[in-house]
Amino acid sequence: MTFFNDPTLLLIVIILGVTVILLQLYIESRRKPRELPRITRTLLKCTKCGNVLEIDYEEGDFISLVKGKCSKCGAPMKIQAIYTIEVKQPK
């Protein structure tokens, strides 16, 4: 009697193989680091005195957009940078 002629043994081997593959995929998916949530920030810089202000990003913001006035000297503030930062979650 050969291995491939016995349907019961063949079925057991197939079930064990599928189980091992599924277990490996499950363990691998649990091991991947989860991506931390991010928030988008906008950096404003005064065109006159250089005062810098970081605010929340708003739709339509782009680099060099004049947005608001400086709180120190009243000159226009331009968007200098737009970037994202990770939100640290408490453990």
Is residue 79 scored above 70 in pLDDT? yes
- pTM score: 0.59
2-32 pLDDT per residue, tens = 656 778 888 888 999 999 999 999 988 887 7
Confidence of residue 35 (pLDDT cuts 50, 70, 90): confident
Long-range Cβ contact pairs of 75-79 (< 8 A, separation 24 or more):
75/46, 75/47, 75/48, 75/49, 76/46, 76/47, 77/44, 77/45, 77/46, 77/47, 77/51, 77/53, 78/44, 78/45, 78/47, 79/42, 79/43, 79/44
Is residue 1 scored above 60 in pLDDT? no
pLDDT of res. 60: 93
